[in-house]
Amino acid sequence: MVVYLDLNFLGDPNRKLLVSRYPNIEFINDKSRCKEIDILVTFNPSFVIGSDLSFYPRLKWIQYFSAGFNGVDFESLKKRNIIFSNAQNIFSKSIAEDVFTKILYFNRNVKHDIDSMKDKSWRPVSYHPELTNSNVLILGVGSIGKEIAKRLKAFEATVVGYRRNSKQEDYFDNIITSNSELEVALKNADYVILALPLNENTQYMFNKTKFDLMKKSSLFINVARGKVVNQDDLYNALKNKQIRGAGLDVTDPEPLPSSDPLWNLDNVFITPHNASSSIYMKERLMGLLTMNLDLYISNKPIKYRIV
C-alpha cells in the first residue's frame, strides 16, 4: 500500500513515526508517483479540487486535512468509488478561541489600549460592552459552532443556532431553521457568528438584507468562508456604522488585496485565515490519521466520511 503524505502540515518527524508504526505501508511525498498511490493524505486543495483523477488509477481514499470541502467534485469521486473524509473536530477548539479573541478585541477596546501604550499615554475609556447575559446567534451548528456555544455558556449568554434541521443541541437555547426565525434572531442578536460551510445554499447568503436587520450595537464575526458574505454589503454596513464592528478571519478574495477598502476601516479586525492555528494541530491531525488508517486496514468504516 502506498500513501501520499502532505508533509507541509505533519512534517518529517511525524512521517518517521508513521513509517515505524506501519511497516507494511510506503509513505511517499513524490507527486510523480501518482499512478501508485492508494491513499492520498493532504491539506492542499489542488489535489481534490479540479484535479484529474485519472492520474490516480489506484486511489481508493482521500483523507483531507481540512474541515471545509467546498469545491470538491464528489460526483467524480463517487464514480470512481473513492472514499473522501475530512478533518472534523480538529480545528474547532482553536477557532472557537479565535472567535472570543475577536469579540473581546472590540468589547475591551484593545486597539485603543495598544495605541495608548505606544504613545505612553494614560487614556481610559468607559464604553465596554459585555458578553455576559448577551444574545448570540451562531449560523452553523457543526463542531465549530458547538465549541463556540459551549464556551458562551460561561458568559451566561443566550445562544441561538441556525441550521437546516431542528434537532436540539447542548449549550444552545434554541435551534432555528426558517428564514422568518432567522430574521427575528438577527434583530435580537448582540453577536452574529458565521461558522457554516460554503455551498450553493450559503454562498453570499449574508447580504445587505441581513445587515439591515442587525442592531447598530451588534458585532459580526466570520470564521466560515469569505464567499458566505457579500463583502461590498459588509463594507457599507461597517463604513456607515450600521453595525458596531466585524471580526474577519476569512475574506473574499484571499489574501485580501492591499487596495481593498476594508483595510482602512477602524471597526474591522482582520486575521489571515489563521483561526485554526494551534500548537496542537499536528498532534490532532496525527491522531485523526492513525485512527482512520487503523480502521481502514481493519476493513472498518472510517470516521468523518463524506462520500
279-305 tens-digit pLDDT = 999 999 999 999 999 999 999 999 999
Residue pLDDT, tens place only, 211-258? 999 999 999 999 999 999 999 999 999 999 999 999 999 999 999 999
Q: Are residues 246 and 290 in the same domain?
A: no
**Cell numbers describing residue 160:** 441561538
Q: For the residues 193-208, what does the mean pLDDT come to?
A: 96
- Other beta carbons within 10 angstroms of residue 124's beta carbon come to 8
Backbone φ/ψ region at 120: left (φ over 0), alpha (ψ -120 to 50), beta: left
Average pLDDT, the chain: 95
Could you tell me the pLDDT band of residue 50, with boundaries at 50, 70 and 90?
low
Q: Whole-angstrom Cα distance, residue 87 to residue 210?
A: 30
- Other beta carbons within 10 angstroms of residue 178's beta carbon come to 10
Q: Is the residue at 288 inside a domain?
A: yes
Q: Are residues 173 and 114 in the same domain?
A: yes
pLDDT score of 45 more than 80: no
Q: Are residues 132 and 264 in the same domain?
A: yes
Q: Are residues 128 and 19 in the same domain?
A: no
Q: Whole-angstrom Cα distance, residue 111 to residue 122?
A: 14
pLDDT score of 8 more than 90: no
Dihedral sign for Cα 115, 118, 122, 128, please: positive
- Other beta carbons within 10 angstroms of residue 270's beta carbon come to 17
Catalytic residue among 215, 273, 282, 284: 273
89 or 136: which leads in pLDDT = 136
Q: Is the residue at 190 inside a domain?
A: yes
Instruction: Quote the pLDDT of residue 68.
Output: 85
Residue 61 phi, psi dihedral angles, 5° rounding: -155, 135
**Cell numbers describing residue 257:** 488585496
Name the 3-class secondary structure at 236: helix
43 or 160: which leads in pLDDT = 160
Q: Is the residue at 99 inside a domain?
A: yes
Q: Whole-angstrom Cα distance, residue 278 to residue 95?
A: 9
Q: Is the residue at 118 inside a domain?
A: yes
Q: Is the residue at 302 inside a domain?
A: no
Q: Are residues 146 and 40 in the same domain?
A: no
Contacts 24+ apart (CB under 8 A), 273-280: 273/249, 274/249, 275/91, 275/94, 275/95, 275/98, 275/99, 275/223, 275/249, 276/67, 276/90, 276/91, 276/94, 276/95, 276/98, 277/94, 278/91, 278/93, 278/94, 280/94
CA 67 to chain centre: 7
Q: Are residues 140 and 262 in the same domain?
A: yes
CATH number at residue 198: 3.40.50.720
How many residues can be counted in the chain?
307
Instruction: Specify the number of domains making up the chain.
Output: 2
Q: Are residues 29 and 128 in the same domain?
A: no
Q: Are residues 50 and 181 in the same domain?
A: no
Side-chain half-sphere CA neighbours of 298 within 13 A: 9
Q: Whole-angstrom Cα distance, residue 192 to residue 152?
A: 13
Q: Is the residue at 114 inside a domain?
A: yes
Q: Are residues 265 and 154 in the same domain?
A: yes
Query: Is 273 annotated as catalytic?
Result: yes
Q: Is the residue at 29 inside a domain?
A: yes
Q: Are residues 256 and 180 in the same domain?
A: yes
pLDDT score of 48 more than 80: no
Instruction: Quote the pLDDT of residue 65.
Output: 92
Q: Is the residue at 305 inside a domain?
A: no
Q: Whole-angstrom Cα distance, residue 237 to residue 216?
A: 10
- Residue 64 forms beta bridges with which residues? 42
Instruction: Quote the pLDDT of residue 203.
Output: 97
Domain range spanning residue 251?
92-270
Could you tell me the pLDDT band of residue 43, with boundaries at 50, 70 and 90?
confident
Q: Are residues 142 and 226 in the same domain?
A: yes
Q: For the residues 167-187, what does the mean pLDDT come to?
A: 98
DSSP 300: -
